[in-house]
Chains A and B, each alone.
Chain A
Amino acid sequence: MRRPETREIERVARKIRGLLAATARAPRDVVPTGWAIDERLAAGGLATGAVHEWFASEGPLSILIHLGWRALETAERTRPGARVLWIGRRVWPYPRALVGDFAVRSCSARSEPASSEERAADEAILELARLDAGERPADERLLLARSVLVDVREPGARLWSIDAALRCPSVAAVVADGSGLDMRATRRLQLAAEAGRGLGLLARPARERDRLSAAATRWWVEVAQPVEGAARPRWIARLARQKRTLDPTAPALHGPACVASSP
C-alpha cells in the first residue's frame, strides 16, 4: 500500500509549501535612523515589519518623531500616501514638533567592546537640532498631514488597535504607548508587524526594562547630563538588545518538496 502514503506525503508537502509561501517575507525596507549607530544595527537601520521598544522615563517623543519622519520618507518612495499612527495619549506629540524643521542628530557614537559577561552596549548621544533650509524635507508638513491620532484608554483595546495598525500595509509607522505589555502581547505585536510593512515603535516606561519581550530591538533612552557648549536638548540612547532573526525561508527547507510516486 504505497500509493496512499505518497499521496499523504504529497499533501503534507503541499501544505508545507503553502505555509512557507505565507511566511516567506517580501524584502524588507530598512529605515535608516540617520545616526552613527546605524552601522551597529544588523540591517543597517531599523527594520520595518518589526517592533522596536524605546524605554524612557518620559516617552522619548522627539526621537520617535524623528523616526516617524524617516519611516515616512522611506515609505513614500514605494507606497505614497502612507500614514503614521500615534496610538495612546501618552505618545501624542505637540503637533508643532511634527513639522520637519527640527531633527534628532547624533553628536558622537561610542561603542564599547563586548565584555565576556555583558552583551555589547552600544550607545549614541543624540541632540535636537534645527535644520538649515537645505536639509529640510521638501514638504515640511508632510508628517503633520499624514499623522493620525488614536485615542484609546483601555489596555485591551490599545493592544488590538496597535495590532490592527501594524497589519495594515499602507502604514509607514505605528508609534504606540507600550506600557504594561507582557511577553505574550509583544509576541502578538511582533507577529502583526511581520504581517504588515510598517515600523512598529513602542514607547515604554523605564521601569518596565526588565520585562521579557519579543521586540526586534530594545533601546534605553536617558536625558544626557548637560555639558558646556551644547545648548540643545540631548539624550543618550543605548541599544540594549538586538534580536538575530531566524529566516524561515532557509535553503534547507527549499529542497524538492514533491516526492515522486513510483509507478
Chain B
Amino acid sequence: MRRFLALSFPAFAVDRFRRRSPGAPPLVLLFTVERGSRWIAALSPEARRLGIARGMSLAQGRAIAGERDLAIEPHDPEADRRSLAELGAFATRFSPAVAVEGDAGLVLDVSGSERLFGGEERLVHLVVEAFARKGFGARGAVAGTLGCAFAVACFAPRAQRRVALRVPPGGEAAALDPLPVAALRIGTDALQALCEVGVETVGELRALPRGALPARFGGELLSRLDQALGTAFEPFVPLRPKRVPRRARAFEVPVELDVVRHAARELLVELTTELRERCEGACRLALDLECAEAPPVREELVLSRPSRDLAHLASLLEPRLERAPLGFGVLRIVLAAPETAPTPERQTGWHEPAGQAEVAEVAKIDRPLGELFDSLVGRLGRAGVLALVPVETHVPERAFEERPLASVETLRARAAITGLARPSRLFAPPAAIEVDAGPAGAPMRLVRNGGARRVLRCFGPERIEPPWWDAPTEGSRDYFCIEDDGGRWLWVFRDPQARWFVHGEWT
C-alpha cells in the first residue's frame, strides 16, 4: 500500500520574495507584464485583506494600497520553479522520493517511512514546521493516492484542516466528496463546463452517470477522478539530483606532492572529458585531499566563466596544491565540479570570413588574465566583474549594458553608437536643477548644489524621444550641452513639464 504526503505552498512566490528581502514591508505585489501593462500575479495575504486581488492591474493595486508601504517586484515563475526543485531536494530528508507537483506543490512518497517519524500525522506536522522555519507557509496532507493527498492539502476548508491531515486508507472517496471540483487538477475548460451545469463538488460529480462524463467534459476529467480515487494508476516521477562530475583516486601508501600533482592532472583530464561530453564547463572546482596524520584539505576554486580548458584549470589548481599542508602524504584525492553551467559550442566554420572585426570583437583571454578574472570573481562575485556591451537604442542611459564577463564572451553584438557628443559621466538618476531659460528655451542661469551659475555657452537642443513601444508615460527630452561660468560642462535636459535635470558632466 502506497502513501503520499502532499504539500501545497499557497503563497510560494511571496514567501520566496520575503526570504530574499527580509526587510520588505508586509504588502507585497508581484507583477507580470502582459499586453503592454502590468498585472498582479501574486500578492501577500496582508494585501489580499485590503481588497487587492490577483489579476488586477498593478496601478489599481497601488491605488487601493494608497499611502501604505508597498514592495513591488516582477514575478519570475522560472526562478520559482527552480527554487521549488531546491526545496524538493531539502524535503528528501523526510523521504527519498520527492516529486514536484504543479507550480507550488511537492509530493513525498512516504510509504513505510512514516514510522521513522512517529506516525503520519506527526510527520505532516514535522514537514510543515520544517518549511515554516525556512520561511515557506505550507499545508500538508497524507492520503493513499497522490491526487487525493494534493486535493486535501490544497482545498481542505480551514475548519477541517486539522482533521483532514490524514486520509485513512480507503477513505479517499469520503475525503474528496465535499471538496470543490477544482481540487482534481483539471483544465480550465472542463472547470468552466462543470460550473455551467452547476456541479461544484466532487461528490456531485461522482453522482453523475460515469459513461457520459468523457463526452461532455473531456477524457482528462475521468482519469483525474480515477487517479484521485485510486482506481487508475498515476505515475510518480521523483526529482533526481543532478549528478556532480567527480573523480577520485586512492593510494595504497601515503604519497608525496609529485605523485599528488600527477594524480590531480589525471583526474582533471577525466573531469574535463566528462564535462565535454555533457557540453558543460565547471564554474566551481573542489579538491579534497585526505592526508596521513593531518587534517583533510579542501581547496575550492571559483571561476569567472564556465571552463573545461585543461591548461587553464591545471594552472589554477597547481599553485593551490603546492601551498596545501599535506602532512605525511596523501591517501586519497577527490576532484569534483559541484557547480557547472552549459557552454555553447562555437562553430569555427569555414563560412566565417577570417579577420573580420565582428569575429575579433572579444579578444582572447590569456592565462594571466584568466587567473586575474577568476580571483576577482572569487572574491567579488560574478556581478562584480563586468564587461560593456553596446545596445541598439538611442536612449542614453540604456545604450550600454554592463554584463558579467562570462556572458559576453560568446557575444557578437555590434550595435550602432551615436556619433554625437556625450559626457564622460552620466548621473543615474538625473539630478533635478533649477534653470532660468531664455526666450528661445535655452538655459541662461542654473542653480545646482545651492550655487547659482551663469551659462556662458549652450549647444542644443538635441531632442531624444522615448521609444514608442515602451514607457509611454515618459516624455521627450531636449538636451543641451552647457558651459557655466566656472568652466564646467554639463549635459542638461528639459522634460515636457519644463522641469530641468542635469544628466551628465564632462569631468
Contacts and interface: CB of A to CB of B under 8 A. Distances in A.
Contacts, number: 123
Interface stretch (A12-20, A138-146, A211-219, A254-262): A138-146
A225 to B, nearest CB: 5
B interface, size bucket: 35 or more
A226 B487 contact: yes
Given A128-B506, A226-B483, A226-B485, A94 B426 contact: yes
Given A152-B380, A170-B369, A223 B488 contact: yes
Given A65-B424, A97-B423, A101-B419, A168 B368 contact: yes
B114 interface: no
Contact of B369 (A83, A225, A231): A83
A224 B386 CA distance: 33
**What DSSP secondary structure best describes chain A's contact surface?**
mixed
Interface residues of A, number: 48
A135 interface: no
B422 A97 contact: yes
A207 interface: no
A98 B424 CA distance: 8
B426 A145 contact: no
A170 B418 CA distance: 31
A234 B388 contact: no
B159 interface: no
Interface stretch (A2-10, A156-164, A177-185, A240-248): A156-164
B383 interface: yes
A160 B405 CA distance: 20
B504 A94 contact: yes
A41 interface: no
B506 A233 contact: yes
A80 B507 CA distance: 30
Contact of B487 (A102, A150, A151, A234): A234
Interface stretch (A21-29, A54-62, A106-114): A54-62
Contacts of A146: 363
**What DSSP secondary structure best describes chain B's contact surface?**
mixed
Contact of A59 (B362, B372, B507): B507
Interface in B422-457: 422-426, 456-457
B389 to A, nearest CB: 9
B428 to A, nearest CB: 10
Interface in B350-389: 357, 361-366, 368-369, 371-373, 375-376, 379-380, 383-388
A83 B369 CA distance: 8
B131 interface: no
A214 B504 CA distance: 33
A61 B390 contact: no
Contact of B417 (A99, A169, A231): A99
A97 B423 CA distance: 7
B421 interface: yes
B400 interface: yes
A145 B157 CA distance: 60
Contacts of B372: 164-165, 168, 170-171
A93 B425 contact: yes
B357 A139 contact: yes
B362 A157 contact: no
A148 interface: yes
B380 A96 contact: no
Nearest to A232: B489
Given A81-B364, A223-B486, A233-B489, A96 B418 contact: yes
Q: Which 4 A-B pairs have the closest CB atoms?
A: A95-B400, A96-B422, A233-B506, A61-B424
14 contacts: A58-B425, A61-B424, A94-B422, A95-B388, A95-B390, A97-B423, A141-B417, A144-B388, A148-B373, A149-B387, A151-B384, A152-B384, A157-B379, A170-B368
